[in-house]
């Protein structure tokens, strides 16, 4: 069985463009910083930004692993040493920053491992990956501060529901234009926006370590996840029923979703609880009923 998650790309572009223009009007800030990986999410969001912002007001920054590792060793010099911007294919050059040079006394890779190894648990790849994501966030927000700009995120709904993000890393942003769209819907939007086939066809990756891919970490595909998540989260269909319909990896997908709900609700605080108890739910996630009721889910 296959569920259609097709969208009207033209309408989505209009809706997102309107949203971005409203944000500019509301905040009075007409510049935006975006991290560009050369992947489908950031490229698609970049194309959307071009429809809402003047080209000279879009600051694109590419921060590959080769640049992040030396930066980890130079955080104390962050204010005066900004990484060079390498534009990804299909993305225009807007600003070029001076390149960060590796620290003296060894390679960036060896120094990074030496300095943080004592803090890392068994799974060093994930820990280092989270560090990379948070360093990228620091740089983007530092640039935004310097240029009086907002930081634009590139997260999609699939990543959000699966908890596939680093808290206070790639999840940290001022604007999220496509969080309402599943990954497979991002592909539809990318084709409409004429993103190059090379970018569309490459395996999705968070670029946290060499050879890392999203689906390799999941153990299932985005297509499988989107179908199951749509039925479970949007349509509130029970797990047993979804399995009965013949979808693959149902338990694995839903287990990951439920296991990462805490990431959607942090930081926990007495203020949050009191604010919600007073019935003011304008921007905070409702915290009433059971954990699943809170999300409108069924087991």
pLDDT for 277: 55
Confidence bin at 275 (pLDDT 50/70/90): low
Average pLDDT over residues 10-18: 98
pLDDT for 135: 86
136 closest CA partner among 101, 107, 172, 100: 172
Confidence bin at 209 (pLDDT 50/70/90): low
Confidence bin at 95 (pLDDT 50/70/90): very low
| CA triple 257-37-29, angle to 5 deg | 90
Domains of the chain: 9-217 (3.40.50.620)
The DSSP string of 115-181 is HHGGG--S-HHHHHHHHHHHHHHHHHHHHHHHTT-EEEP---HHHHHHT-S-TTTTT--SB-TTTTS
Are 95 and 57 in contact by the 8 Å Cβ rule? The answer is no
135 closest CA partner among 92, 83, 192: 83
pLDDT > 70? residue 186: yes
Confidence bin at 274 (pLDDT 50/70/90): low
> Using the 8-state DSSP alphabet, how is residue 282 labeled?
S
Cα 154 from Cα 24, distance rounded (Å): 18
pTM for the model: 0.73
User: Residue with structure tokens 């000279």?
Assistant: 56
Segment 144-168, tens digit of pLDDT: 999 999 999 999 999 999 988 888 8
Confidence bin at 11 (pLDDT 50/70/90): very high
pLDDT for 213: 78
Average pLDDT over residues 275-287: 45
Confidence bin at 2 (pLDDT 50/70/90): confident
Instruction: For residue 194, count other CB atoms closer than 10 A to its CB.
Output: 9
Cα 195 from Cα 91, distance rounded (Å): 10
Report the share of the chain in percent with pLDDT over 90.
44
Average pLDDT over residues 230-241: 94
Instruction: For residue 66, count other CB atoms closer than 10 A to its CB.
Output: 11
Confidence bin at 66 (pLDDT 50/70/90): low
pLDDT for 183: 96
The tokens for 228 are 């199951």
Instruction: For residue 156, count other CB atoms closer than 10 A to its CB.
Output: 27
- Of the listed ranges 2-11, 23-32, 170-179, 285-294, the least confidently predicted one is 285-294
Q: In b/e form, how buried is each residue of 84-111, taking b as 16+ CB within 10 angstroms?
A: ebbbbebbeeeeeeeebebbeeeebeeb
Segment 100-152, tens digit of pLDDT: 333 444 444 443 444 444 444 446 677 777 888 888 899 999 999 999 999 99
pLDDT for 64: 66
pLDDT > 70? residue 197: yes
Are 37 and 207 in contact by the 8 Å Cβ rule? The answer is yes
Task: Give, to the nearest 10 degrees, the angle between helix 9-27 and helix 183-192.
Answer: 90
pLDDT > 90? residue 37: no
Q: What sign does the dihedral 150-160-283-10 (CA atoms) show?
A: positive
Task: Give, to the nearest 10 degrees, the angle between helix 124-146 and helix 65-72.
Answer: 90
263 closest CA partner among 174, 167, 154, 153: 167
Average pLDDT over residues 193-213: 80
């Amino acid at each position: 069985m296959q569920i259609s998650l097709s969208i009207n790309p033209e309408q989505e572009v209009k809706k997102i463009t309107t949203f971005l223009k409203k944000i500019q009007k509301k905040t009075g800030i007409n510049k935006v910083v975006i991290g560009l990986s050369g992947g489908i999410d950031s490229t698609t969001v970049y194309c959307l930004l071009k429809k809402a912002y003047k080209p000279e007001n879009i600051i694109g920054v590419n921060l590959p692993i080769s640049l992040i590792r030396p930066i980890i060793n130079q955080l104390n010099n962050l204010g005066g040493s900004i990484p060079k911007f390498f534009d990804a294919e299909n993305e225009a050059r807007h600003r070029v920053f001076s390149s960060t040079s590796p620290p003296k006394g060894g390679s960036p890779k060896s120094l990074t491992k030496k300095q943080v190894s004592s803090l890392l648990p068994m799974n060093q790849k994930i820990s280092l990956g989270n560090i990379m994501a948070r360093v990228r966030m620091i740089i983007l927000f530092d640039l935004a501060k310097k240029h009086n700009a907002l930081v634009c995120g590139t997260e999609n709904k699939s990543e959000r529901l699966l908890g596939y993000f680093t808290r206070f890393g790639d999840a940290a942003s001022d604007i999220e234009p496509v969080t309402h769209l599943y990954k497979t819907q991002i592909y539809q939007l990318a084709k409409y926006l004429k993103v190059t086939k090379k970018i569309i066809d490459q395996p999705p990756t968070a670029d946290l370590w060499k050879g890392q891919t999203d689906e390799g970490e999941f153990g299932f595909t985005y297509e499988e996840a989107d179908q199951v998540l749509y039925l479970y989260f949007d349509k509130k269909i029970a797990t047993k029923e979804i399995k009965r319909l013949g979808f693959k990896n149902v338990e694995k997908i839903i287990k990951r979703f439920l296991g990462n709900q805490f990431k959607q609700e942090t930081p926990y605080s007495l203020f949050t609880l009191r604010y919600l108890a007073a019935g003011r739910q304008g921007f905070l996630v409702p915290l009433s009923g059971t954990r699943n009721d809170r999300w409108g889910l069924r087991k």
